Amino acid sequence: MIYTLVESIRLALGSLRSNMLRSLLTTLGIVIGISTVIAIISVITGLNRAFSDELSAIGSNVIYVQKFHWAKNDWSLTRKWKDIGFEEVEAIRNNSRLVDKAAPSFAATRRIKNGRRAIDDVMIFGRGKGDQEIRGATPAAGRLLVRNDFDSNRNVVLIGWDVAEKLFPYESPVGKPISVGGVRMQVVGVLDKRGSIFGSNLDVTVTMPIGTFMKYFGRKRMMTIAVLPREGVDNQEVIDELRGILRRVRKVPFGQPDNFAINKIDVLQDLYKKLTGGLYAAMFGVGTISLVVGGIGIMNIMLVSVTERTKEIGIRKALGARPRAILLQFLVEAVVLSCLGGAIGTALGFGIAALVDAVSPVPASVRPWSIAVGLGFSAGVGLIFGVVPARRAAAKNPIECLRFE
């Protein structure tokens, strides 16, 4: 048995080599299927990794009170809602038993400049007192904002890591002036590197006291209230309490839906799961379809091969090959053919993943175990679609085969 298996593999390789072009064309479906699966697995594992890195960059237990929900929004309704304001911040601070800190912040985008160096569309944040503690901001150079900065609405800013690198490539920015949307500000600190999330760079930012922000960039903006629950308090309890407080201060009548949103990182996680779920489904679809098409291609070419080699089957049978040996020979040939496609597909999939990683912001990380997945799947396809032709070969009558010309 083992000899016939080794012999079958040898024969299969010989037969594929003598029909090189035909074999390669036959495996095209498998190549496409396997490379799709490998590429998408690589992209998803890459995304997973990047995502968990990104999540740890944002404080994961911080709750954000905003007008808009991060994932689901009915804009026609949301638009009419009252803006979130300082009234809500005060209400939370004064009435909550479960909240440790709550701080408002505003955001805008502006052009920033240091002499001739400039960056467009930088996220400008005006942060309230306590916000730095809630977000766990840490300075890489200089200092954070202090009480006096907030109380006197001073023109001082913290800049993100990448801003410091771009605007001050050769010197320390601490103590230097920059222009933020045409207003002169003094840099007092550089924030630690935080990476990016969903393609937005968290290191291209300028942070200033909220009073300063309102003085120069207006007060009628969308406020975010960052809320840090007390240590050891259940998240859902905090959210329930916040809802009660906010409904009261915003005078939402009983039975009416909330006119505000409470966002948490979980919302992003759910959104992410939906996104990758879609990718998985697409992979499953494309992969399955191409593997089936590829399998049919293999079955087809194996049927042709069985007919072409009728004489050979007759000779082998006359010389003592049992039906099983013939079955094995053609089955192994189908599997080898399919695995050839699988190997090419795996290599191609790795190539695509590397290319995606190199030229797009989507990270892709190639996993060695996906080689096993690729070859395993293709071997399975060969086995499944090779059975029919192989059985046909094995069942042939030796006399008729020998007469076949």
Partner 1 sequence: MSLLRCVDLGKTYDLGAQKLEVLKDVNLSIEPGEYVAIMGPSGSGKSTLMNILGCLDTPTTGRYELDGEQVAGMNENQLADVRNRKIGFVFQTFNLLPRQSARANVELPLVYSGVPASKRHHLAEEALKAVGLEGRTRHRPNELSGGERQRVAVARALINHPSIILADEPTGNLDTKTSIEIMKLLGDLHRDKNTIILVTHEHDIAEYAHRIVRLRDGVIESDTPGMGKT
Which residues contribute to the site for partner 1 (CB under 8 A)? 3-4, 7, 14-15, 18, 311-312, 314-325, 398-399, 402
Q: Which amino acid is at 78?
A: T
- CB of 146 or CB of 315, closer to partner 1: 315
Sign of CA dihedral 316, 318, 320, 324: positive
Q: What is the DSSP letter of 320?
A: T
**Beta-strand runs (E) in 143-223:** 156-159, 177-180, 183-191, 196-197, 200-201, 205-209
Residue 38: CB minimum distance to partner 1, A: 34
- Minimum gap (Å) between residue 335 Cβ and partner 1: 19
Minimum CB distance to partner 1 smaller for 50 or for 390? 390
Q: Which of residues 314 and 341 has its CB atom nearest to partner 1 in the complex?
A: 314
d(C-alpha 217, C-alpha 307), whole Å: 80
Beta strand residue intervals within 221-284, DSSP E: 224-229, 261-263
196-197/200-201 β-pairing: antiparallel
- In three-state secondary structure terms, 119 is strand
Beta bridge partners of 54: none
C-beta of 55: minimal distance to partner 1 in Å? 58
What is the rounded CA–CA span in Å between residue 123 and residue 7? 68
- Minimum distance from residue 324 beta carbon to partner 1 (Å): 8
The CB-of-397 to partner 1 minimum distance in angstroms stands at 9
- In the complex with partner 1, the residue whose CB is nearer, 8 or 370, is 8
CB of 308: closest distance to partner 1 in angstroms?
A: 11
Q: Which residues contact 76 (CB under 8 A, 6 or more apart)?
A: none
Nearest approach, Cβ of residue 389 and partner 1 (Å) = 19
- Residue 18 or 76 with smaller CB distance to partner 1: 18
Tell me how far apart the alpha carbons of residues 25 and 307 are, in angstroms, rounded to a whole number: 19
- Distance of closest approach, residue 329 Cβ to partner 1, in angstroms: 10
Tokens representing residue 179 in the block: 């222009």
Nearer CB in complex with partner 1: 264/316: 316
- CA-based nearest residue to 8, from 396, 326, 299: 326
Helix (H) or strand (E) holding 110: strand 99-114
Helices (H), 105-234: 131-135, 147-151, 161-167, 210-217
Report, in Å, the least distance between residue 399 CB and partner 1.
5
Structure tokens, 75: 């804009």
- Supply angle C-alpha 72, 78, 81, rounded to 5: 145
CB 364 within 8 Å of CB 42 = yes
d(CA 123, CA 141): 20
Give whichever of 11 and 174 is closer to partner 1, judged by the CB atom: 11
Nearer to partner 1, 136 or 323 (CB): 323
Separation of alpha carbons 59 and 39, rounded Å: 31
